[in-house]
Amino acid sequence: MLWLEKYILQGATYEILSSWSGYSIRGLEKRFHRILDQQPPIIDIPELTTEVSYLLIDGLWFGKRYALMLYRHHKKKLIIHASFVSRERGSLITKDLKILKSKYRFTGIVSDGGTGIGNAIYAVFGSIPHQICMAHLHRDIVNAIGRYPKDRRVKELKRLADYIWLIESREALGWWRDWLQLWINKNRDFLTETKHLDTGSWWFIHKGVRKAVRILVSLPDTSFKFLNHPLMPKTTNELEGTISVLSRK
């Protein structure tokens, strides 16, 4: 358990832990997996003084079985809680949030918007402002339509998606939403184009574009909470930097 905590909280790599502990890298991996299989540990992190700030939430996946949930205090730039869960289970995240609520006050929360996280936040904090990470949703859009689409209509949609980073006021958001609706109205036939087989089966041809549009339509209600809370981060990118370091070990 000691070595697992050093790996997560102190940034020690497998190579460093191997030299400290005398275990091989493979041996450390087996020990970590044995701990996770038996009982995902609660990792105790020193408490901060109570003050108003924003909570950032994101997860680092260990394969498809476990996720390391990290909770960061935005103002202090510190990870204030971490725990292992399986498939971002809402009940375990709820438990984490209750612990944090007993120690800190938050004026808002920023997360990737997973269903388990969203339900847990609502269960513990009610209607607290919850910003869905703009970077996560923009990434989902790019994955759906491609970074460099060739179709003229999809290029226009991609430009609308990229423009979200420039929106800093309610007026600009209203303008952007109007242009998005114009694009949808203009390309409705394209969006509803289908492929039919003699067997009776059918599907929408442009599934990726339809997914991108669904995300874009939802953005004003999910990812622009920061317009009413100027100090709220748009994304969890500062927390993803920590996750990126861990994922490279």
pLDDT tens for each residue of 142-173 = 999 999 999 999 999 999 999 999 999 999 99
Whether CATH 3.30.420.10 fits 42-131+233-249 = yes
Give the pTM.
Answer: 0.74
Pick out the chain residues at pLDDT < 50: 1, 3, 6, 8-11, 243, 245-249
Check if the beta carbon of residue 94 is closer than 8 Å to that of residue 124. Answer: yes
Report pLDDT for 243. Answer: 47
Cβ density class 183-220: b for 16+ within 10 Å, e for less:
beeebeeeeeeeeeeeeeeeeeebebbbbbbebbeebb
| DSSP tag of 164 | G
Contacts of 1 by beta carbon, 8 Å cutoff, 6+ apart: 35, 41
Residue 239 pLDDT: 66
Cβ–Cβ under 8 Å, residues 25 and 15: yes
Query: Encoding tokens for residue 72?
Result: 């960061």
pLDDT at 8: 47
**CB within 8 Å of 173: residues ≥ 6 apart:** 167, 220, 224, 227
Q: How many CB atoms lie within 10 A of CB 233?
A: 19
Report the distance separating Cα 123 and Cα 109, nearest Å.
13
pLDDT of residue 39: 63
Residue spans of the domains in the chain: they are 1-39, 42-131+233-249, 135-222
